[in-house]
Each structure stands twice: as C-alpha cells, then as structure tokens.
C-alpha cells in the first residue's frame, strides 16, 4: 500500500525534530538560564520546514553523509528560531504566544530573550562548523558556510527585517514589499535548499535553479502567511491572529486585497514547480512538499 504524502511528512518531520534536538546544548553551568531559554524555544515545535527542505534537497542530489548534512540542518533551524525570539520582543512585534506557547521574553524576561536569540545565532555557526573534518569534502562545507552566514545577514533576512520595521505605519510600494518578503522570509528558505544542493555536490547551475525555486516558494509562503493572518484564528495559527494589522505592518493582503493575494500565491507556486521540473534531480516528495507549503491552512 502506497504511503500517503501526509504520513510521509509526519514521519520525516519527526525524524527532523530528533536530529535538530540532538544538537541542542546541555542546560548546565553558571549560564544555565540562557541555555534553558534557547532550548525552551527550540523545543516548542514547529514545522521544521527549513531543515527538512535542506535534507530533501541533499538527498535529491544523492547526498548520503549524515555527519555532513545534519549539523547544517540543526544550524538553520537555530537561526530561524533566534529570529522568532527577536521578532516577538516588545520592541518589535510584542507577541506573547508562538507555536501555542508563551514566548521567550514572557517566560524568561526581555533581557534573557535577547541573549537567547544572540546565543542561538552564534551556536548555529558553532554547530555547522562541526561538519568540517579535514578532508576534501571541506570545500563543499566551506561553500555551505558562506551561504549560511550570508542569507540570514544584512543582505538577506536582517536586511528584510530592517526595511519591515522602518516601514511600519507607512504606505510602501509593491517593490519594497517584495524586497521585505524576499529577504525576510524567502532568503532562509533559499539558504536551506541551496546548502542541501551544495553539500551533495550539485553543479552550480543547479544550485542557481534551486535558489530561484526557493525564492518563489518563499514569496508564496509569505503571501499565504499574510492571508492566514487575516483569515485564520489564534488557535489555528498558534500565535496571535491579526498581529500584522495591529502592528501596522504592510502585507501582501493590505496592498492587493485577498483575492489578488490568492491569485499571486498560486501563480508563484506554479512557476516554482515549473522550474523544479527542469532540474536534473528527482524527489517527488519534495515537489509535493513545496506545493503543500504554499497552500497550508496554518
């Protein structure tokens, strides 16, 4: 009997969860509180989307060395989680719930939440660096490290966050909104999938194709997030619904309306899958996952 996509996803997500949590620090020593805050947020669950996308792209190009890919899987989730901790702070979105649990600054205080976010970012690079082993594969590892340090940075996620914060309460153009979404959301998805391809030894033209696919998927993913913030409930989302409007954030829905947002989300997904079908590697599950992510309900 053929296993259903949803069952495969549940199994793979559980395995990814186990991999990510294996790299978390022990909660001991004088600095125990910040370690507890780091692990509290990391263990709050979530889709584990980015490490899963990384692993599936790695396998699509024949990657088999688990000691190489798994530190990077944990690292990209640490970077994603640090960004969520900082997003939720009173100075930014001021959200009290994330993934159905109280946020780090509510549980541990604002100062410790800031430190926990900083610590996760640093620990991500420390974790990924564990993939170096003094062999020829270190050339690929070094290239992956370049991507891991660049995509979340000032020309990627942080750049998008900066423009997002500065644009609150102001009318902005669609070009600026797309910049925010591409950098704030798509960049880390690009990061994950590109690293998977690089570590597996995919040709540069294939890595470039993966980057283009991930950008479109990331945009569609963020548009759907904007739609859900407007149409879903706090219980369904696991975080406050309507927080974008409360914080006077510019969203795809606020600029185009719900109908156009849905049309553009579907178009970007079709374009991404069209590019995916042109790749030399094959991974039917990854293709199904990319389509499901952009049409999720929570």
- Predicted local distance difference test score (pLDDT) of residue 1: 40
Asked whether residue 60 is assigned to any structural domain, the reply reads yes
Please list, in sequence order, all residues whose beta carbon lies within 8 angstroms of the beta carbon of residue 113, skipping any fewer than 6 positions away.
Answer: 37, 85, 86, 88, 89, 103, 104, 105
- Calculate the average pLDDT of the chain: 92
Could you tell me the CATH number of the domain that includes residue 197? 1.10.600.10
- Predicted local distance difference test score (pLDDT) of residue 234: 55
Token pair recorded at residue 32: 């125990």
Asked whether residue 11 is assigned to any structural domain, the reply reads yes
Predicted confidence (pLDDT) per residue in 203-242, tens digit: 999 999 999 999 999 999 999 989 998 886 555 555 555 5
Asked whether residue 160 is assigned to any structural domain, the reply reads yes
Asked whether residue 107 is assigned to any structural domain, the reply reads yes
> For residue 173, what are the domain limits?
5-293
Query: Within the chain, which residues score under 50 in pLDDT?
Result: 1
**Cα–Cα nearest to 80, from 105, 62, 53:** 53
d(CA 235, CA 219): 24
**Taken in order 129, 134, 139, 140, is the CA torsion positive or negative?**
negative
d(CA 71, CA 198): 14
d(CA 68, CA 72): 8
Asked whether residue 202 is assigned to any structural domain, the reply reads yes
d(CA 124, CA 192): 13
- Predicted local distance difference test score (pLDDT) of residue 249: 77
CB 186 within 8 A of CB 217: yes
Asked whether residue 298 is assigned to any structural domain, the reply reads no
Asked whether residue 255 is assigned to any structural domain, the reply reads yes
The alpha carbons of the chain give a radius of gyration, in whole angstroms, of 19
CB 174 within 8 A of CB 223: no
H-run or E-run covering 97: strand 97-98
User: Count of domains in the chain?
Assistant: 1
Q: Which residue is associated with the tokens 């719900």?
A: 258
Asked whether residue 87 is assigned to any structural domain, the reply reads yes
d(CA 119, CA 129): 15
Please list, in sequence order, all residues whose beta carbon lies within 8 angstroms of the beta carbon of residue 280, skipping any fewer than 6 positions away.
Answer: 203, 206
pTM, whole model, 2 decimals?
Answer: 0.93
């Amino acid at each position: 009997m053929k296993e259903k996509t949803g069952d495969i996803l549940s199994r793979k997500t559980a395995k990814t969860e186990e991999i990510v949590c294996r790299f978390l620090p022990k909660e001991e020593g004088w600095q125990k509180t910040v370690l507890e805050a780091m692990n509290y947020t990391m263990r709050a669950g979530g889709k584990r989307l980015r490490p899963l996308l990384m692993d599936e792209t790695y396998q699509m190009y024949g990657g088999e060395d688990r000691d190489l890919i798994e530190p990077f899987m944990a690292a990209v989730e640490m970077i994603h989680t640090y960004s969520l901790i900082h997003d939720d702070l009173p100075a930014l979105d001021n959200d009290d719930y994330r993934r159905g649990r109280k946020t780090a600054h509510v549980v541990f205080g604002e100062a410790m939440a800031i430190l926990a976010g900083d610590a996760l970012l640093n620990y991500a690079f420390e974790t990924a660096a564990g993939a170096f082993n003094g062999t020829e594969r270190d050339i690929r590892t070094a290239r992956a490290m370049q991507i891991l340090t660049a995509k979340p940075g000032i020309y990627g996620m942080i750049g998008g966050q900066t423009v997002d914060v500065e644009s609150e309460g102001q009318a902005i153009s669609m070009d600026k909104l797309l910049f925010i979404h591409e950098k704030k959301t798509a960049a880390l998805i690009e990061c994950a999938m590109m690293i998977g391809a690089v570590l597996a030894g995919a040709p540069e033209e294939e890595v470039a194709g993966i980057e283009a696919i991930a950008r479109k998927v990331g945009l569609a993913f963020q548009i759907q997030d904007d739609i859900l913030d407007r149409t879903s409930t706090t219980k369904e989302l696991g975080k406050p619904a309507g927080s974008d409007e409360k914080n006077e954030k510019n969203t795809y829905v606020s600029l185009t309306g719900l109908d156009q947002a849905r049309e553009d989300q579907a178009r970007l997904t079709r374009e991404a899958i069209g590019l995916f079908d042109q790749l030399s590697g094959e991974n039917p599950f990854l293709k199904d996952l990319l389509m499901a992510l952009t049409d999720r309900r929570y």
